[in-house]
Structure 1
Amino acid sequence: MAHIRSRKHAAAPQPAHTALALAALTMPMTLLAQQAAPAAAGAEATLPEVKARAAAETPYKADAVASPKFTQPLVDTPQTITVIKKEILQQQAATSLTEALRNTPGITMQLGENGNTTTGDSIFMRGFDTTNSIFVDGIRDLGNISRDVFNIEQVEVVKGPSGSDNGRGASSGYVNLVSKTAAREAFGNASIALGDASRVRATVDLNRPLDIALPGSAVRLNVMAQDFGVPGRDEVKAKRWGFAPSLAIGLGTPTRTYLNYLYIDQKNRPDGGVSTFGLPAYNFGANTPGAAVDPKNYYGSRSDFDDVTLHMFTARIEHDFGRGTVLRNTTRLGHTEQDFVLTGVNAVTATAADPASWTVARSRQARHQTNEILTNQTNLNTEFATGGVSHSLSTGFELIHERQNQVNAQTLTNTTLPASLQQAVANLYRPNIDDAFLMPPFKGAYAKGSTLSAAVYAFDTLKLSDAWLLNAGLRWEKFHTETNGATFTAATATLPESLVQNAPLSLTDNLLSWKLGAVFKPTADGSVYVTVSNAYQPPGGANHALSTSATNQASPSLEPQEGSNLEVGTKWDLLGGRLAATAAVYRSENRNELVSDGATPASFSQVGRRRIDGVELALVGQLTPAFNLSAGLAYMDPKIVRGVPGATGNQGGAIVYSPKVTFSSWATYKLAFGMTLGGGVRYVDPVVRNSNLNNATSANLPGTESYTVADAMLAYEVTKNVNLQLNVYNLFDRQYVAAVNNGGSRYVPGQPRNVLLTANVAF
């Protein structure tokens, strides 16, 4: 007979990845679970019959997150968490993490630091850089790459510093991608999408139970192939393919094993951006005012490339001991390798009388980077009572080894090239992709860094009464970061060129992160809460690269930056649990930032502090059986409380890439005859790219204007198993700046109106 398990709250399905090569690392766990299984199974077999009624599944609303560290459903979790389910991603025909994150307010994208244009997911959330706080199934995923969502069940956006969850991290929170994994039921889905800008994409998701001697076995395979241009951009391409097999053993039994593997290969032509010259509010300086350039212009070379290869192996074993006690062990080995050559856009020379002769400087850069991770994580969830107080306890320990190797090429500009080569200068209005370009020589900095950390944690939800819950989390970890590097020295009249080894650097320290929340439940379907939490970002925590410079935040002699968050909010499950309404008021701060005193010569100290005061509202779920809605509104008041003083400093200025108001929505309504209408609106307030108090008069583009973009979707069920879907993006063809670089010299244009037609087949 089927095993019956009783839990106060149903746990969310836990996705996992793995590889057979790692099974040996978890063998002791398997043996322990197998020995305990008969007793547990026998105990469960004697339980009386239990009749349970599950809440109706809604396409948009999630009731829980995947991590076992969250012991309660979302309505009773004292923190702002947005869950973007795969149903929304499918309806929007989203392909990347960047597109998925459009469904939550308060997030903006950055183009890159001056000469180093980004090639991946560069996320700013609640006023802070969150690029290095991206996780896959609760495990950190470093690398400057664009992440695909073909193997993603849902995207979880946890807002507010959460060091107790995952260790070092941003003051804004983190993003967790939950992977698809094998399940008991048989199903199959396939899609093929065609669109303008020469876009073609195909995916397959196939799950089948296995009729083998091992009970509860199933296999799942996700496959993706894509060849995309970018609407509104000449020459930019996103070409990739990947596959993700998943094997599960023991589904429906007390002991379950999941073995997953993910492989992705990308062959892209990256976007170095478009000159901001002539955009509204552009500061021409010594240049002659002129018209903005065509946003389609491509200033790079046909030989520009961005190649990415990703391997991810994960194994998870979990065992139910009965009475709400579950033990999990997860092992992951991941490797990401990236090679790119990219041409960026810099300063404009527009002093001649004839605009046809105006030029823009270009820089050509290259990098080879590898990121690796090996981790083993053990988690125990249990439920018990002490006196009149019931506990939902999650404890565990983690061992993590991360490594990043980065080799930079020498950046080629008009000052580093012979005068006979004109590749560093392009015609402003008519750039030529066939210009003769040199390949940047790998004569830049080399850095090899690693971090080894060990952590223990505990999360407990204490039910004091039917109306009061207390939630607490604590994580202690010890880490050791090492950095080795070398600097290329150019030849002189007396010395040949050389590669000089830098002195090795290291840092060993402890981090103690925590969170504490109190929840009042006026009814079973609602809560009012207050929570406080913190997170640390130690020197070198973002990329394992320590610095010898005392004026660099990565200096090992400095203290970790500390983020804190105070939040008061309320959550309600309405309409029989089909609709979630949430509201929160918060204050997030980041302290111990290294800043100058503004003097000459400057003195640096860790007194810097940034603050975000904000409000966030959300409504997600099913208003009627035919009407589904996901909407969110965020207001932020971002300020540098203490920074560089003076008229040219940033103390009292705004925080970059942090619009005050953002809004995101998506809704669908199912009509008769198998027709579904859908659409959404996104609004973003103006964004500053420089925190200096005189930002409005700074060079190039001081910031971006507000914009509103509307998207639409029409779907038709041809048969029970065949669905045609037409997506129209930027319905009213608005022109806007999607991202701008720190220097304000280049930007990524928002895509003009474009369409994508998708055929979805179930089998």
Structure 2
Amino acid sequence: MTRTYKAYLTPVSVAGVLFFSTHALGASVDAPHDDGEKLSKRTSKRQKGEVQKAEAQPAKPVTGVAATDEERLTVTGHGFNTMHDTLGLSRMPQDVMHTPQNINVVPQALMRQQNVKSLDEALRNVPGVTSSIGEGAGGMNGDQFLIRGFQAQNDIYEDGLRDFGVYSRDSFNFDSVSVIKGPSSEVFGNGTTGGAINMVTKTPGLQNHYGSEFTGGSGSYYRGTLDINQKLDSTTAFRLTGMGDEHNVVGRDFIYSHRWGIAPSLAFGLGKRATLVLHYMHQQENSVPDFGVPVVTKPGAAYGMPITEYGVKRTNWYGTNNDQNATNDNMETARFTYKVNDHITVYDDLRGGQYYRTFAASKATCDTTCVNNYFNGDPAAALVARSGPSGAGKGTGPGTYMAPLPYEQTSWSVQNVASIVANFNTGFLRHQLVAGFDIERVNDVRSQSTYLNPKPYASLINPNPYVGNLNLVPGDSNPAGLVSLGALHAKDHSSGYGFDTGLFLFDQIWLTEWLSVKGGFRWDRWQTSYNLTGGDVAKNPDSHFHNVSSVFNPNVSLVATPDEHQTYYFTWASSTTPMGMYVTNGSVPIRPGTNSFASPEKSQLYELGAKYSLFHDRIGATASLFRLDKGNAVNADPVTGEVQGSSDRQRNQGLELSVGGIILPGWNVTATYALYDSDTTYSATKENRGKNIQYVPHNQATLWSVYNAFAHTPYNISFGGGITWRQHVWLNAANTLRVPANLDFSAVISHRFDKHWKISMNGYNLANRLNYQSLFSNRATPSAGRMFLGEVSFTY
């Protein structure tokens, strides 16, 4: 197999060039002469007026404006109170407060204070979101999340368009990140059982802005970013963001990531009736995948836990020096807006994506012999099997082949969403109508490879990743090394596609000035195909699967807004996940089998909520009670990683609270809490009935607060920190394996030299606790240990 994308620019050199070249450019620009408070008020006025009109985009008004300074945002109360933020989607034209659904927004100001560097880090501020390290035999890795306990790896969006790539998303081009909780098929289409994640990108504006940051610290961490916004004329602007990043992982041996990215964008017609934004994003990464440590059950214990809970070092990594995750991801986006008149606006968003990946990983398994040797025998004799041909080191020959096998993946996608938003009256009734269509196509091709030499077993106590050349060859050269997935034959080549045509229509009708009803639907025709070819065709014939399904998802809400500072709502919504949804990020999108695969997953949401913007919009607060029912749930096999239909019915219900804003001038706070009561209401396996849903904690909370002391003086200082807590979670449907609670303390301190330059220091996991961030049904990945990152940044 050819190792593609292993050659890349060194991120350290990219980081340095980005930082110093941007400073040279920014130094030539005149600095504003207002003091912080005056500039803050001026920026606030511009946010509400000129820029919002100029950009004419369904995105946050602050986008493209040189108003990312935390002090400016703190003074006015903007940035941490997200109630009046828009979501960046034409299909959801209302702001957060007036959208009848629980929405958590991670704003730019919060990401800057925490020095957030990835989508995964941003979402740690959102309760109910859990990272999963992915199933085995197709090698999902990258970003994949669960929302309220339900898979959301296919529900990641950027500016309202689906991002099909399987990679770790860097935050260098994020303006904000929103998690829209609960089924949202009427907006996004198929999927969104637990919710959807939408990233709003940085786009051009009409005020020049030059900024850069350089970060360094623990784990050989080096990172540089730039953000340049240049006005070209009165209606045209250009923006460029870039990033170079390389780091190891503190507390994990042999794990590293090298990545770089660039995202230029160009906006035409700012302030005019017709606007066009062209955007390109390229991100490239070479890293080592970390499939964590095995979860084992100690003899006599009631349930199993990660082996690191029993004295094994948290640094132990059970992979090999042949493991690799090389990704190359590109997206081209065009967003067009045309304001027909004061009542009607037309939107058309088009995106193409190309994704390339070379992947090889090891999945550690500690079997019964391994467990007995560690706890009751000779711990030094405890050996861990690694995926691939195993057996060497035990004197048993090549042994069996296990997933995941190395593979190369090439994917592409095209999506176009056209919509119209119309505001009009019929008699005494006021309407806001949203209608449109959504067409998308995604293709995926994979080629499996195998090792001719077996992977040696690893010592559970002192694993050695240096196993030498395992002799990697294409799968068709070694058909015996290919892995069968249940009823599917062992094949070295797979391909598939998904094609969706969706129509949506929903209308919000105001019965009075303060009471409205919102209802609508989306219809989708989902067509998907999956093909398995190659290998030993005489023994295992090629397989071809095809499925077409039409789904209809309605929703309805009752919304009360007594005044502009409070909203109350009740929402019922549904979603459908048909077979074959996971074209790019699932090992087998379609398979033969029981009726549970022929029938789609269906979910229903009942939610009662309240939203407030208090104290002159300084503080935003939300509260929601919800019940989410899911039928025909899909589970993953703990050994092979196969996604299997179960016909289970699951329910998650609970309470979610959040507050964010400015307590006093210069003092911001963001806090969330979630209480979940989840269970399997029906299962063909009777022992699983009444058990908690995998990955859903009973309690979860976050807190972050920073105070800016002596603002506008030479000795100003900002300091603060926060806590992230998640109660223990179960890893399997039977509730026999679990990971302990996570508790993470973090802090920040910063000083601003003038209106342009700032230095800061962030500390993470200050107690150096053994936490687990990424989870799977029989493995868990220890989080990074205690680390400190220093940053130098400037903005002109």
TM-score calculated relative to the size of structure 1: 0.84
CA–CA separation in structure 2 for the residues paired with 1:304 and 1:114: 14
Indicate the SS of the match to 1:343.
Answer: coil
Q: Which moved more, 1:343-352 or 1:712-721?
A: 343-352
CA deviation after TM superposition for structure 1 residue 209, in Å: 0.4
Conservation of the 8 A alpha-carbon contact between 1:85 and 1:154: yes
CA deviation after TM superposition for structure 1 residue 473, in Å: 2.7
Residue by residue over 1:454-501, the C-alpha shift from the partner in whole angstroms, topping out at 9 and shown as x without a partner, is 2221232212212202122321222221222226339xxxx7xx7742
- The aligned runs of 1:138-537 (5 Å cut-off) are 138-211=160-233, 215-276=234-295, 291-348=310-367, 349=370, 351=372, 353-364=377-388, 365-410=405-450, 423-443=455-475, 444=482, 445=491, 446-486=493-533, 488-489=535-536, 500-502=541-543, 504-537=544-577
Cα–Cα, structure 1 residues 194 and 736, in superposed 2: closer, same or farther, change >3 Å? Answer: same
- The aligned runs of 1:359-758 (5 Å cut-off) are 359-364=383-388, 365-410=405-450, 423-443=455-475, 444=482, 445=491, 446-486=493-533, 488-489=535-536, 500-502=541-543, 504-543=544-583, 545-551=588-594, 553=596, 555=597, 558-593=598-633, 607-646=647-686, 649-672=687-710, 673-692=715-734, 695-696=735-736, 702-743=737-778, 746-758=779-791
CA deviation after TM superposition for structure 1 residue 652, in Å: 1.8
Cα–Cα, structure 1 residues 143 and 409, in superposed 2: closer, same or farther, change >3 Å? Answer: farther
Indicate the SS of the match to 2:183.
Answer: coil
Cα–Cα, structure 1 residues 260 and 472, in superposed 2: closer, same or farther, change >3 Å? Answer: same
Conservation of the 8 A alpha-carbon contact between 1:14 and 1:67: no
Conservation of the 8 A alpha-carbon contact between 2:183 and 2:603: yes
Residue of structure 2 equivalent to 1:60: 80
CA deviation after TM superposition for structure 1 residue 289, in Å: 13
Conservation of the 8 A alpha-carbon contact between 1:187 and 1:206: yes
Amino acid at match of 1:195: G
CA–CA separation in structure 2 for the residues paired with 1:338 and 1:186: 37
Indicate the SS of the match to 1:392.
Answer: strand
Misfit runs of 4+, over 6 Å: 2-7, 278-285
Cα–Cα, structure 1 residues 114 and 484, in superposed 2: closer, same or farther, change >3 Å? Answer: closer
CA–CA separation in structure 2 for the residues paired with 1:116 and 1:616: 34
Cα–Cα, structure 1 residues 681 and 4, in superposed 2: closer, same or farther, change >3 Å? Answer: closer
User: Unmatched 5+ residue regions in structure 2?
Assistant: 1-45, 64-74, 389-404, 476-481, 483-490, 637-643
CA deviation after TM superposition for structure 1 residue 280, in Å: 12
TM-score calculated relative to the size of structure 2: 0.81
Indicate the SS of the match to 2:362.
Answer: strand
Conservation of the 8 A alpha-carbon contact between 1:80 and 1:158: yes
Cα–Cα, structure 1 residues 703 and 552, in superposed 2: closer, same or farther, change >3 Å? Answer: farther
CA–CA separation in structure 2 for the residues paired with 1:264 and 1:290: 36
Indicate the SS of the match to 1:488.
Answer: coil
CA deviation after TM superposition for structure 1 residue 357, in Å: 3.1
CA deviation after TM superposition for structure 1 residue 688, in Å: 0.6
Conservation of the 8 A alpha-carbon contact between 2:759 and 2:791: yes
Conservation of the 8 A alpha-carbon contact between 1:620 and 1:630: yes
- The aligned runs of 1:31-46 (5 Å cut-off) are none
Indicate the SS of the match to 2:519.
Answer: strand
Conservation of the 8 A alpha-carbon contact between 1:277 and 1:292: no
Conservation of the 8 A alpha-carbon contact between 2:51 and 2:206: no
CA deviation after TM superposition for structure 1 residue 361, in Å: 1.3
Amino acid at match of 1:478: R
Cα–Cα, structure 1 residues 261 and 106, in superposed 2: closer, same or farther, change >3 Å? Answer: same
CA–CA separation in structure 2 for the residues paired with 1:546 and 1:361: 27
Identity score, percent: 27
CA–CA separation in structure 1 for the residues paired with 2:352 and 2:519: 30
User: Unmatched 5+ residue regions in structure 1?
Assistant: 18-54, 597-603, 697-701
Amino acid at match of 1:633: Y
CA–CA separation in structure 1 for the residues paired with 2:466 and 2:701: 41
Q: Which moved more, 1:257-266 or 1:438-447?
A: 438-447
CA deviation after TM superposition for structure 1 residue 291, in Å: 4.8
Conservation of the 8 A alpha-carbon contact between 1:233 and 1:295: yes
CA deviation after TM superposition for structure 1 residue 283, in Å: 7.6
Residue by residue over 1:1-40, the C-alpha shift from the partner in whole angstroms, topping out at 9 and shown as x without a partner, is x999999xx974379x9xxxxxxxxxxxxxxxxxxxxxxx
CA–CA separation in structure 1 for the residues paired with 2:297 and 2:645: 39
Q: Number of residue pairs matched?
A: 681
CA–CA separation in structure 1 for the residues paired with 2:657 and 2:690: 27
Residue of structure 2 equivalent to 1:112: 134
Residue of structure 2 equivalent to 1:26: none
Amino acid at match of 2:379: P
Conservation of the 8 A alpha-carbon contact between 1:311 and 1:335: yes
Conservation of the 8 A alpha-carbon contact between 1:470 and 1:517: yes
CA deviation after TM superposition for structure 1 residue 344, in Å: 2.0
CA–CA separation in structure 1 for the residues paired with 2:701 and 2:527: 41
Cα–Cα, structure 1 residues 710 and 439, in superposed 2: closer, same or farther, change >3 Å? Answer: farther
Amino acid at match of 1:319: Y
Cα–Cα, structure 1 residues 323 and 280, in superposed 2: closer, same or farther, change >3 Å? Answer: farther
Indicate the SS of the match to 2:562.
Answer: coil
Cα–Cα, structure 1 residues 280 and 140, in superposed 2: closer, same or farther, change >3 Å? Answer: farther
Cα–Cα, structure 1 residues 240 and 6, in superposed 2: closer, same or farther, change >3 Å? Answer: closer
Residue of structure 1 equivalent to 2:33: none
Residue of structure 2 equivalent to 1:70: 92
CA deviation after TM superposition for structure 1 residue 666, in Å: 1.4
CA–CA separation in structure 2 for the residues paired with 1:6 and 1:374: 29
Cα–Cα, structure 1 residues 595 and 430, in superposed 2: closer, same or farther, change >3 Å? Answer: closer
Indicate the SS of the match to 2:255.
Answer: strand
CA–CA separation in structure 1 for the residues paired with 2:340 and 2:437: 19
Conservation of the 8 A alpha-carbon contact between 1:278 and 1:289: no
Amino acid at match of 2:771: Y
CA–CA separation in structure 2 for the residues paired with 1:90 and 1:239: 21
Indicate the SS of the match to 1:98.
Answer: helix
Amino acid at match of 2:594: T
Indicate the SS of the match to 2:363.
Answer: strand
Amino acid at match of 1:663: A
Amino acid at match of 1:355: P
Conservation of the 8 A alpha-carbon contact between 2:208 and 2:230: yes
